[in-house]
Amino acid sequence: MLEAEPTVEAGTHLAELLAAIDRFRQRPKTNRQPQELAAELKGIRHAGDLLELEFAETTAAFSKTEEYNEQGSVSPIDWIRHQCRMSTGAVWNSLAVGEHLDDLPRSVEAVESAEIGYAHLTLMARTAQSMQGSSTAAPFEEGGLLDKAREYSVGRLWYFCHHMRHATDPEEFAAEQSRATESRTLKMSTYEDGSLALEGWIDPVGGAVVRSALEPLAQPHGDHDERGREHRNADAFVEVCSHVQDIGVLPQRPHLQVTASLDTLRAVAGSPAGDMEYSLPVSAATVRRLACDGTITRVVLAPESVVIDVGRARRVVAGAMRRALNARDGHCKWPRCERPAYWSDAHHVVHWTDGGDTDLTNMILLCHRHHWMAHEGGWQLVRTAEGEVLAVPPRPPGLARVADAEDPVEAARQFAEQLRVARSLRTDWPPGERVAAADDAAWARVMEAHDAAHHQTNQRSDLDDDSPDPAA
């Protein structure tokens, strides 16, 4: 093979590197002063970072070959995982860095000069990877991230990357969170003695809801609470469930705290994600849902990070109005859903951040699942003149963008193509919630209703003179 010669040479270099490491490890280590230890830690970490760069570059080169296959492995990732004894996540990180070295030239230099860590670079490479894998993202640019990496800890940069992705690619960010929500699982297995084993997976937003419900109840109770953390979690879980059964409470989430800029709440393009206790940053659609009926504790920040609205806003749907809403709707008003009122949220048909009023004419009861579908799920609720509520499915991705095409013939061609794709996707909708669209005319009516609903929302976006009032 052609590579025979370079391999020998690389082997020599590697032998030299290992010999140097060996000499370094033999250095005298007695009586080292704390300052020396500190300096060594930084130096060794930097050396490790430089080697990580080499590892990443080599990983990317190896993954383009068929060598893994020759050696009977199923993928390059799997080969590296086994042969280099690494976790899958660590291999993916190396591959991401190796494949994006060309997109991050200045950041690589910053690692080489020890201005940022390799761990920073890993986050930046994963961000570049997810943005380049998205059809809706703006082109990746390293400058902004590099500035933050110089200033931020790795953990803080991790959060910032989420916010940046939300600002530059809100569609894919929200789609990822929606996919995570659709992947929730909870397996319940009953043992012979009747005890219950739980095994599950919950998305970040749902996980934050669970944790915020359990955390206050899972604190140690007084001086003689000998229970371990997991025991207390289990007790809190049972307590929450029995509490709900005992009193059938109205949904109130005083422990949920969400911090978001006003721009995020208004879903303005380029706005950062929202922050939620116990969760990764959450999409604008999620913030709008959580803020919809005002039962969460809300801290809204103005763009200059000034707290302008703390606690229950005046939009809160509580007391007499909620009772009137329960009496009028009785249950979730999604077509054919009958979840009872106390399992439902009060949904603003026109969101209060878009100027919708908190009064009965603009409110409707939706169960948690359907409230999610109306916000993150992208469904539109349309009320007919007769008062019937229709649920209109989301447009397939890209369909809403047709109007952007400049040439009218091209726009028409794209529309026809997307309509074709949309119709072929139709059967993917949840069967019970599908809107019949058996022919083109029915489909066109659905799209019209969808556009009308959007239009109505846009018309009501008179927020600027309706900012939350701190005195309210």
Residues that bind Zn ion (CB under 5 A): 292, 332, 334, 337, 339, 347, 367, 370
Q: Rounded to whole angstroms, what are the CA distances from 98 to 76, 146, 179?
A: 13, 17, 28
Give whichever of 151 and 338 is closer to Zn ion, judged by the CB atom. 338
Give whichever of 162 and 288 is closer to Zn ion, judged by the CB atom. 288
CB 418 within 8 A of CB 396: yes
Outline where DSSP puts E strands in 236-279.
253-261, 275-276
Give whichever of 96 and 364 is closer to Zn ion, judged by the CB atom. 364
Q: Count Cβ atoms within 10 A of the Cβ of residue 285 and give its class: 0-12 exposed, 13-18 middle, 19 or more buried.
A: buried
Give whichever of 255 and 339 is closer to Zn ion, judged by the CB atom. 339
For the CB of residue 351, give the shortest distance to Zn ion in the complex, in Å: 7
Give whichever of 297 and 362 is closer to Zn ion, judged by the CB atom. 362
For the CB of residue 394, give the shortest distance to Zn ion in the complex, in Å: 15
For the CB of residue 454, give the shortest distance to Zn ion in the complex, in Å: 16
Give whichever of 167 and 174 is closer to Zn ion, judged by the CB atom. 174
For the CB of residue 105, give the shortest distance to Zn ion in the complex, in Å: 45
Question: Rounded CA gap, 21 and 13, in Å?
Answer: 12
Give whichever of 62 and 342 is closer to Zn ion, judged by the CB atom. 342
Give Dmax (Cα) for the chain: 87
For the CB of residue 365, give the shortest distance to Zn ion in the complex, in Å: 8
Q: List all residues 6 or more positions away from 166 whose beta carbon is below 8 Å from its beta carbon.
A: 173, 271, 272, 273, 281, 283, 284
Q: Count Cβ atoms within 10 A of the Cβ of residue 426 and give its class: 0-12 exposed, 13-18 middle, 19 or more buried.
A: middle
H/E segment holding residue 44: helix 34-63
For the CB of residue 345, give the shortest distance to Zn ion in the complex, in Å: 6
Give whichever of 63 and 286 is closer to Zn ion, judged by the CB atom. 286
For the CB of residue 303, give the shortest distance to Zn ion in the complex, in Å: 24
Question: Rounded CA gap, 328 and 73, in Å?
Answer: 63
Give whichever of 173 and 334 is closer to Zn ion, judged by the CB atom. 334
For the CB of residue 167, give the shortest distance to Zn ion in the complex, in Å: 23
Give whichever of 224 and 336 is closer to Zn ion, judged by the CB atom. 336
Question: Rounded CA gap, 331 and 194, in Å?
Answer: 34
**Dihedral over Cα of 66, 68, 70, 72: its sign:** negative
Q: Count Cβ atoms within 10 A of the Cβ of residue 135 and give its class: 0-12 exposed, 13-18 middle, 19 or more buried.
A: exposed
For the CB of residue 339, give the shortest distance to Zn ion in the complex, in Å: 5
DSSP 438-464: -SHHHHHHHHHHHHHHHHHHHHT--GG
Query: In this structure, what token pair is assigned to residue 94?
Result: 């190396």
For the CB of residue 292, give the shortest distance to Zn ion in the complex, in Å: 3
Question: Rounded CA gap, 108 and 146, in Å?
Answer: 10
3 state DSSP class of 187: strand
Question: Rounded CA gap, 447 and 243, in Å?
Answer: 44
Give whichever of 338 and 417 is closer to Zn ion, judged by the CB atom. 338
Question: Rounded CA gap, 398 and 420, in Å?
Answer: 13
For the CB of residue 328, give the shortest distance to Zn ion in the complex, in Å: 16
